[in-house]
């Protein structure tokens, strides 16, 4: 096990002792006799990992006989992976630092502090806001990055028997919610006073998309996988599919189902531990920001495959927001997906 960089922990893909929950199981490829490298770190409050495994064609080109210990034996190869992982991690951490709502210095915090006036925004933020706007429209207001005030009223996670908010509280909170109140122009944003933006629903998936781009650029001859706390994306056309476990919300940390990922992204929406029991009633964990109340019949978890992680993540979120209609919605989209209900 090598340890370099800030918080980036490396291990050979042959080391299976670290593999938990949502990971790839290398034993599946034992017969290819190909090993790779895994980098782990913490970011965005999740366990994140990068996996790189040489493509067979590439290893063959370098000679079959030495391929047994390819990566560890090939010093330059190992160094290149290390470097690439570090760059990709830096990109993830950059996005985390920029869009962390809880950090004093983040760009997002500055934006939220400047509510009530016009402010300049950069291209990246504009892109994310435009995407959020698109999703807001698509979902008819159910996906809303300004919804935090109303979401915060529902004390999910504070134990299972807290009190639901009153209608009056919700009405008050709704006054500070509504993406359409934002004015987004090419160079600037008007965030009305009292409102705030939370990019938590997009930033992690966006970071995964960016990280895989960094890795692909630097390690074109490797099969690659980026996993940011369950939102993951593989490099296109991996020679050997990555095996992904989808966790069962009833038995946390135990893979419920193994699926394979050969290219593209898989993202999961669902907070399996979140529901609220009050006076015998169980309140759903997905709140519709346009009303302030839980959506009926939301699944526990929705996983969706799509070419890009932001797209997979958003489809999962939109499906979740469909409540009872989640399955119908995803079938209508023709996506490969997996829905877990209680």
| Of residues 180-199, those binding another protein (CB under 8 A) | 180-188, 190, 192
Site membership for another protein, residue 332 (CB under 8 A): yes
Q: Residue 138 CB, nearest distance to another protein (Å)?
A: 6
Rounded Cα gap, residues 168 and 209, in angstroms: 40
Nearer to another protein, 5 or 283 (CB): 283
* Sites for another protein among residues 1-60 (CB under 8 A): 55, 57-58
Nearer to another protein, 35 or 40 (CB): 35
Q: Residue 333 CB, nearest distance to another protein (Å)?
A: 5
Residues touching another protein, count (CB under 8 A): 82
Nearer to another protein, 113 or 296 (CB): 296
Rounded Cα gap, residues 300 and 298, in angstroms: 7
* Sites for another protein among residues 202-261 (CB under 8 A): 206, 209-210, 213, 216-218, 220-221, 236-237
Of 27, 152, 328, 336, the one binding another protein (CB under 8 A) is 328
Tokens of 294: 């839980």
* Sites for another protein among residues 294-323 (CB under 8 A): 294-297, 306-308, 310-311, 314-315, 318, 321-323
Nearer to another protein, 18 or 60 (CB): 60
Of 134, 250, 257, 273, the one binding another protein (CB under 8 A) is 134
Nearer to another protein, 244 or 295 (CB): 295
Q: Of the candidates 335, 308, 315, which has an alpha carbon nearest to the alpha carbon of residue 212? A: 308
Nearer to another protein, 41 or 136 (CB): 136
Of 39, 201, 255, 284, the one binding another protein (CB under 8 A) is 284
All residues at 6 or more sequence positions from 181 whose CB lies less than 8 Å from its CB, including other chains: 146, 192, 195
All residues at 6 or more sequence positions from 206 whose CB lies less than 8 Å from its CB, including other chains: 95, 128, 309, 310
Q: Of the candidates 84, 83, 56, which has an alpha carbon nearest to the alpha carbon of residue 70? A: 56
Of 42, 113, 324, 336, the one binding another protein (CB under 8 A) is 324
Q: Of the candidates 112, 304, 108, which has an alpha carbon nearest to the alpha carbon of residue 205? A: 304
Q: To which residue do tokens 């990709």 refer? A: 88
Site membership for another protein, residue 73 (CB under 8 A): no
Nearer to another protein, 245 or 286 (CB): 286
Q: In what order do the strands lie in the sheet with 3-4?
A: 3-4, 8-12, 37-43, 46-54, 222-228, 231-234, 264-269, 301-306, 337-340
All residues at 6 or more sequence positions from 119 whose CB lies less than 8 Å from its CB, including other chains: 111, 188, 189, 190, 191
Of 131, 200, 272, 274, the one binding another protein (CB under 8 A) is 131
Nearer to another protein, 134 or 273 (CB): 134
**SS3 of residue 24 by DSSP:** coil
Q: Of the candidates 59, 65, 53, which has an alpha carbon nearest to the alpha carbon of residue 240? A: 53
Nearer to another protein, 113 or 130 (CB): 130
Q: How many CB atoms lie within 10 A of CB 81?
A: 26
Q: Of the candidates 20, 172, 302, 125, which has an alpha carbon nearest to the alpha carbon of residue 11? A: 20
Contact map string, positions 142 to 181, toward another protein, x by CB under 8 A: x---------------------x--x----------xxxx
Contact map string, positions 104 to 123, toward another protein, x by CB under 8 A: --------------x-x--x
Contact 70, 14 (CB under 8 A): no
Q: Residue 266 CB, nearest distance to another protein (Å)?
A: 14
């Amino acid at each position: 096990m090598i340890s370099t960089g800030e918080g980036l922990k490396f291990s050979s893909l042959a080391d299976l002792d670290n593999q938990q929950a949502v990971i790839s199981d290398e034993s599946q490829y034992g017969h290819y006799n190909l090993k790779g490298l895994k980098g782990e770190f913490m970011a965005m409050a999740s366990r994140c990992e990068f996996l790189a495994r040489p493509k067979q064609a590439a290893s063959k080109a370098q000679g079959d006989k030495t391929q047994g210990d390819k990566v560890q034996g090939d010093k330059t190869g190992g160094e290149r992976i290390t470097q690439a992982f570090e760059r990709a991690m830096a990109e993830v951490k950059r996005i985390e630092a920029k869009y962390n709502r809880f950090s004093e210095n983040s760009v997002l915090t500055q934006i939220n502090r400047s509510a009530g006036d016009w402010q300049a925004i950069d291209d990246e933020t504009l892109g994310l806001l435009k995407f959020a706007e698109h999703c807001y429209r698509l979902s008819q207001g159910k996906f809303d990055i300004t919804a935090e005030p109303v979401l915060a009223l529902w004390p999910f996670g504070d134990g299972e028997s807290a009190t639901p908010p009153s209608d009056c509280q919700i009405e008050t909170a709704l006054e500070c919610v509504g993406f359409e109140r934002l004015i987004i122009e090419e160079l600037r944003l008007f965030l009305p006073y009292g409102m705030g933006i939370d990019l938590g629903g997009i930033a992690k998936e966006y970071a995964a998309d960016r990280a895989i781009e960094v890795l692909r650029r630097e390690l074109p001859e490797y099969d690659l996988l980026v996993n940011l706390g369950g939102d993951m994306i593989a490099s296109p056309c991996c020679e050997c599919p990555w095996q992904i476990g989808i966790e069962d919300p009833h038995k946390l940390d135990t893979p419920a189902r193994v699926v394979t990922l050969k290219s593209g992204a898989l993202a999961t929406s669902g907070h399996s531990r979140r529901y609220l029991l009050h006076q015998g009633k169980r309140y759903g964990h997905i709140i519709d920001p346009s009303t302030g109340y839980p959506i009926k019949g939301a699944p526990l978890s929705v996983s969706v495959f799509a070419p890009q992680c932001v797209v997979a993540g958003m489809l999962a979120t939109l499906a979740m927001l469909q409540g009872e209609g989640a399955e119908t919605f995803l079938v209508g989209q023709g996506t490969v997906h997996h829905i877990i209900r209680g």
